[in-house]
A and B are shown apart, each in its own frame.
Chain A
Amino acid sequence: MDGILNGVHAYKVTRSIKIGFDPHGIQRVMRNSMCTNPSRIFGPMQTFWALFQKELKLELRQKHALAGVLLYVLATVFVCYLGFQQIDSAKTWGALLWVTGVFTAFNAMQKSFATESSGTHLYMYSLADPRAIILSKAAYNALFVAVLNLISVFFFILFFGTKPLADMDIAQFLLGLLLGSTGLGLALTFVAGIAFRSGAGVGLVAILGFPVIIPLLITIVRHTTLSLEGASALANSLNLVVLIVLNAVSFALSYLLFPYLWRE
């Protein structure tokens, strides 16, 4: 029996290495940990960084997937350009940016759980605290969406010029971009987790995710529009507060509920 399990374990490890997952890194952390309960071998914060690095490595090793997402961003912005030719109002610019942002986020999110086999999940469950898993995934996805949004801002400037951005308040705009991306990352990672667990495929991410992110989307479009119009920080503070609240709510719910989701 032991032999079979070892065989399965060895298979999982080789498989994990092949897709870029570094079990030895985690085992190093595990050895340093004082805990003895295998399901809680390390606290959330200790594993967080190792898992975050794992996500990053996984992304960088799958260059074709990364290129696919970048192509998606470029294509979406280009379609916007073909449709609009020229944008004069900050409102349209902001709305289009976030429509692109949402679709990119969905695209990026669909592979968040799906590219890993259920064996990897089981392996990770036996090693790490589920909260560390969701936080690392959410943090990574938030960062990823933020970077993709910055890239799409670049493409928007490339195609549409800087005319709609003439009055923009850069600090506010970037803060909004960051908060919007983290909000999307947090909420959609959690929804992707639910959809993945249901086993109904990636289509469910869009069905469950769209209604969930609408409040965030309304607020972030409003925030971006105001910051593009050069409104004062005070005028935009209400949107900022709502954004922070939505982020906090998504974070709290993910943190509290993910352990239940992860349990088999």
Chain B
Amino acid sequence: MKNWLKITCIGLLLYTAVFSLWHPMGPGGLAVSATKMHPGRNEFEFKGYATHFKEAESSLQVFVSVDSSAAYCADILQVVDESHVIVSVFLPDTISSKRFGFAANNDIDGTVIVDSPVGHDGFEFVPGTSNALCQYRVNQEEFSRFGFPYQPIIIESIRNLMWHVPMWFTMFVLMTISFIFSIRALGKEDGRVDLDHDTRASAAAAVGVVFCVLGLVTGSLWARFTWGDWWTNDPQLNGAMVVFMVYVAYFILRNSTPDEEKRARLSAIFNIFAFVLMVVLLMVMPRFTEGLHPGKSGNPAFSKYDLDSSLRSVFYPACAGFILLGYWIYRLNYRIQKLEQHDETHA
């Protein structure tokens, strides 16, 4: 099998493309139509996402929790379709809070919660008169999750995890290859610089920069969808931009140094500098500073969901596939550069 690497790569990427886009989403609570709650009867629509309200109508429950302690069962007026249900809830006048949570529960989806608009200005409680609590059950045990985990705000864009994150992993691998060849280019015993290793280093860095751009683009799209802006002030984003600039500077340095030997030596030195800077920027600094990426300053960490087998089953193959693709392109780029050098010397 001469081409096993390429075949594996293509297979993994096809698998990633198919499953990251076609794998269904798990159930979640999307929104409620109510913007104002008051004592007495409140009628509103509960919107789920990828739920089975109609199919599991017999076991469906909707309830409103107040201050996450008391819960009030809602009467189901009409199940419109799989993801819409119109309910009515009776709230007593003893409630003085503005913190409402909304949840729906059935045997297929388990409990889905609408991320409660805690302290939201749109919610207003007008005191009045009324009564009692109800009993509810949470059947998390029966929770049969068969899709990607539902995350508020992120929702379908969680599929981007299989595209955005592998870009950075691939860039890291390529830059590491570049770094190692830069060290080896300088490390010759006779003190001369190894031009072949330098060619490898630059070929790998060039492909790494492309993956850096792809990572920035996929990240920017994702940021627009979830954080509301194409660019946000996040240490990882800014760090990635600086890494991009450093490697562009690396190529400017290469192009502005005509002498081959000198170019190889200088760019190898700068590349070592650039790699260390990249590690500091993307792996050390974000841990010290506040940002929007998962796992920092109160953001939901993916680690909790990385354990989710449905995500892992696509995410790991995606990483392997993109790393193989990066390596493949790097090899091609290296061979092209070698051929060009050959042409120049024999012209």
A residues bordering B, Cβ < 8 Å? 190, 194-195, 197-200, 204, 207-208, 210-212, 214-215, 218-219, 238, 242, 245-246, 249, 253, 257, 260-261, 263
Contact = CB atoms under 8 A, between A and B. Distances in A.
19 contacts: A194-B253, A198-B257, A199-B259, A204-B252, A204-B256, A208-B252, A211-B242, A211-B249, A212-B249, A214-B245, A218-B238, A219-B285, A242-B284, A245-B284, A253-B272, A257-B186, A257-B269, A261-B265, A261-B269
Interface in B63-103: none
Interface in B270-309: 270, 272-273, 276-277, 280-281, 284-285, 288
Contacts of A253: 272-273, 276
Instruction: Name A's interface SS.
Output: helix
Instruction: Name B's interface SS.
Output: helix
A198 B273 contact: no
Chain B residues touching A, range: 20 to 34
Nearest to A219: B285
A68 to B, nearest CB: 26
B273 A260 contact: no
Nearest to A264: B262
A238 B276 contact: no
Which of B259, B262, B265, B276 has most chain A Cβ within 10 Å?
B265
A212 B273 CA distance: 8
B235 to A, nearest CB: 8
B289 to A, nearest CB: 8
Contacts of A200: 253, 256-257
B271 to A, nearest CB: 10
B194 to A, nearest CB: 12
B266 interface: yes
B269 A242 contact: no
Given A207-B252, A261-B269, 18 more contacts: A194-B270, A198-B253, A199-B259, A200-B253, A211-B242, A211-B249, A211-B277, A212-B249, A212-B273, A214-B238, A238-B288, A242-B284, A242-B285, A249-B280, A257-B272, A260-B269, A261-B266, A263-B191
B246 interface: yes
Contacts of B252: 204, 207-208
Interface in B211-255: 238-239, 242, 245-246, 249, 252-253
A51 B262 CA distance: 26
